[in-house]
């Protein structure tokens, strides 16, 4: 744990999949559980997370008065009401970190009575195992020290990049929603393997091994994806036959349209 995080009170409003994943990641970096407090509209969920991670449940007014950093990890449609309540007790120096898809720092700032620093972040679900990637953008009152603090907090859950806020909806379409695209593709590979005669167990093992090995090659070889694809594609071979089907169905266009739809939905959530 860095000096900048020492003795910081960290609050989480919302402890769903991403909120609880970030808590878990922080705790793996020896961040003390007694410096984390939580709140969720589902009492059952809050109790589960509090018990699992030995963190304390608190009221929204307690967080506003005591926390140095507050994660806004609620659904986008709930964010306005949460901010209206939080603003009543919020210290002016408290850093707000929002992971609500589509909601701009300007929207958050407009709901506050003070000029709190706000940082917008789009993480993704591999944060659950410390393999996530998060894109962060600072709001009007966020200074370099606030950006650095946010980076340190998200570094516990994976890689962190800083982007202009106008790119956040594109980030949502690529890496925020991206794990679901990946899992859908693997589902289809496994089903196709079974249709071709493999058992589900063997098809699953082969698909997962292929994908994880390929990802490792992409990360460690120093070569880009296009080069690695060409290296495994022999002229008139089996891979070329499969890729020809992708090209014929215009897979690239399908992916482009899917990501454009995700970005459009993020913009609608604003």
Name the 3-class secondary structure at 270. Answer: coil
Of 207, 152, 217, 159, which is closest to residue 185 (Cα–Cα)?
Answer: 207
- Residue 245, H or E segment: helix 238-248
155, 172 contact by CB (below 8 A): no
Annotated binding residue at 222?
no
18 marked among binding-site residues: yes
Q: Per the annotation, does 13 bind a ligand?
A: yes
For residue 15, say whether it is annotated as part of any ligand binding site.
yes
Instruction: List Cβ neighbours of 69 (8 Å cut-off, separation of 6 or more).
Output: 8, 9, 10, 11, 94, 95, 96, 97, 149, 153
- Is 76 among the annotated ligand-binding positions? yes
Q: Is 163 annotated as a binding residue?
A: no
Residue 108 · residue 137 · CB < 8 Å: no
* Residue 102 known to bind ligand: no
The secondary structure of 30-72 as a DSSP string is: T--GGGEEEE-S-HHHHHHHHHHHT-EE--HHHHHHH-SEEEE
91 is in an annotated binding site: no
Tell me if 14 is assigned to a ligand binding site.
Answer: yes
**Residues contributing to the annotated binding site:** 13-18, 73-76
**Residues contributing to the annotated binding site for NADP(+):** 13-18, 73-76
């Amino acid at each position: 744990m860095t000096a900048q995080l020492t003795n910081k009170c960290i609050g989480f409003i919302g402890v769903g999949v991403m909120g609880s994943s970030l808590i878990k990641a922080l705790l793996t970096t020896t961040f003390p559980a007694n410096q984390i407090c939580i709140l969720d509209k589902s009492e059952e969920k809050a109790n589960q997370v509090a018990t699992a991670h030995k963190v304390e449940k608190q009221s929204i007014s307690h967080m506003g008065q005591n926390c140095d950093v507050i994660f806004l990890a609620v659904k986008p449609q709930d964010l306005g009401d949460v901010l209206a309540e939080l603003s009543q007790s919020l210290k002016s120096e408290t850093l707000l970190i929002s992971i609500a898809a589509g909601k701009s720092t300007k929207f958050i700032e407009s709901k506050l009575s003070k000029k709190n620093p706000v940082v917008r972040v789009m993480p993704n679900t591999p944060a659950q195992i410390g393999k996530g990637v998060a894109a962060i953008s600072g709001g009007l009152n966020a200074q370099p020290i606030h950006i650095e603090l946010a980076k340190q907090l998200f570094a516990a859950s994976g890689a962190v990049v800083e982007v202009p806020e106008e790119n956040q909806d594109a980030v949502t379409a690529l890496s925020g929603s991206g794990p679901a695209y990946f899992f859908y593709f693997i589902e289809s590979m496994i089903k196709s393997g079974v249709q071709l005669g493999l058992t589900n167990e063997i098809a699953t093992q082969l698909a997962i091994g292929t994908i994880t090995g390929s990802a490792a090659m992409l990360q460690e070889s120093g070569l880009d994806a296009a080069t690695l694809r060409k290296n495994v594609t022999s002229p008139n071979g089996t891979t070329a036959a499969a890729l020809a089907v992708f090209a014929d169905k215009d897979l690239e266009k399908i992916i482009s349209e899917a990501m454009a739809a995700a970005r459009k939905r993020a913009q609608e959530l604003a």
